[in-house]
Amino acid sequence: MKTIRTVKQMQQTVRKLVAQGKTIGLVPTMGFLHDGHLSLVRKARQHADMVVASIFVNPTQFGPREDFSTYPHDERGDLKKLRSADCHIVFIPTTREIYPKGFQTFVNVEKLTQILEGASRPGHFRGVTTVVSKLFNIIRPDVAVFGQKDFQQAAVLRQMTIDLGYPIKFIVAPTVRETDGLAMSSRNKYFSPETRPEAVCLYGGLKKAKAMVKAGERSTAKISRAMTKEILAVCPSAQIDYIAFNDLKTLQSTTKVEPGTICSLAASVHGVRLIDNMKVL
């Protein structure tokens, strides 16, 4: 596995691979990797000759009161994990490589970013689309793989891919969970052994929603109320940011569960902001 740290070397490597007729799969990450990230690498391997994973904690997607400066990292551990997943190339640029002095060009998807995470985290998606479009331009992948865990991010990036005409096959891979159901996330590291068990409350809420839908309930207001109860029963101090029901593809909000409805939620559990989602019908 090759580690590349500069844009120039990444571009040269890509040119060589393209000349050899190799297809390229890209998995963008912010590092501190877990099995969710590695599942994306394995998925990319199924669709491309060469897999590039990027590790870049992107400052422009963090708000001023968010955890950019404390975001966990473990480069050595990440490299070991990527090697074990048979990744071919790791791109680890510095902030200056991605944002050269005087940087002032941003990419913004206008509508899909106004709800859910976009409403709670102003400017977040503008940072995400800007960095991913830069990665697309530098690495020129044939395939890019993203996680369902961040389903709105996937929808926004798919829209950007279409709107900017990138010739990239867009793949969204399922959420990988811990054995108790908590969605894997680099931020799970913030929990202590005492608070960690309560982090499963989001998954518990989603399971409740799915069970109610299975039993015939279609009112999102009723389901939301039951989910809130369920979440607070597991973690009484949880602060629920939102519980939302949207169409999986268009992100259109709905008051009645329909085929293709995805339930998503964000909550702060012992000071850690978590998100999760589940298709309920």
Tokens 């479009």, residue located:
133
Does 224 contact ligand AMP by CB under 6 A? no
Looking at the DSSP assignment, which residues form a beta bridge with residue 173?
147
Query: Could you give the residue ranges of the DSSP H alpha helices within the chain?
Result: 7-19, 35-47, 75-84, 95-98, 116-120, 124-139, 151-163, 201-214, 220-234
Inter-CA distances, 28 with 15, 78, 111, 202, 224, Å? 19, 13, 23, 25, 33
Q: Which of 3, 121, 23 is nearest to 63 (CA)?
A: 121
**Nearest distance from C-beta of residue 214 to ligand AMP, angstroms:** 23
Binder among 10, 25, 26, 37 for ligand AMP (CB under 6 A): 37
Q: Show Cβ contacts of residue 148 under 8 Å, excluding neighbours closer than 6 positions.
A: 154, 172, 173, 174, 175, 277
Select 88 or 124, whichever has its Cβ closest to ligand AMP: 124
Binder among 13, 129, 175, 224 for ligand AMP (CB under 6 A): 175
**Nearest distance from C-beta of residue 215 to ligand AMP, angstroms:** 27
One-letter identity of residue 92:
I
Say if CB 87 and CB 41 are below 8 A apart: yes
Select 30 or 51, whichever has its Cβ closest to ligand AMP: 30
Contacting range for ligand AMP; rule: CB under 6 A; set: 6-14, 158-166, 168-176, 246-254: 168-176
Binder among 52, 90, 107, 184 for ligand AMP (CB under 6 A): 184
Contacting range for ligand AMP; rule: CB under 6 A; set: 98-106, 169-177, 199-207, 254-262: 169-177
Rg (CA), the chain: 19
Report the site for ligand AMP in 88-147 (rule: CB under 6 A): 146-147
Select 1 or 176, whichever has its Cβ closest to ligand AMP: 176
Question: Quick one: DSSP state of residue 21?
Answer: T
Does 53 contact ligand AMP by CB under 6 A? no
37 carries an active-site annotation = yes
One-letter identity of residue 200:
V
Phi, psi of 257 (to 5 degrees): -65, 130
Select 92 or 212, whichever has its Cβ closest to ligand AMP: 92
Binder among 54, 113, 133, 186 for ligand AMP (CB under 6 A): 186
Does 30 contact ligand AMP by CB under 6 A? yes
Q: Which of 164, 270, 279, 126 is nearest to 213 (CA)?
A: 279
Does 246 contact ligand AMP by CB under 6 A? no
Say if CB 186 and CB 72 are below 8 A apart: yes
Residues with catalytic annotation?
A: 37
Q: Which residues bind ligand AMP (CB under 6 A)?
A: 29-30, 36-37, 39-40, 146-147, 149-150, 173, 175-176, 183-186
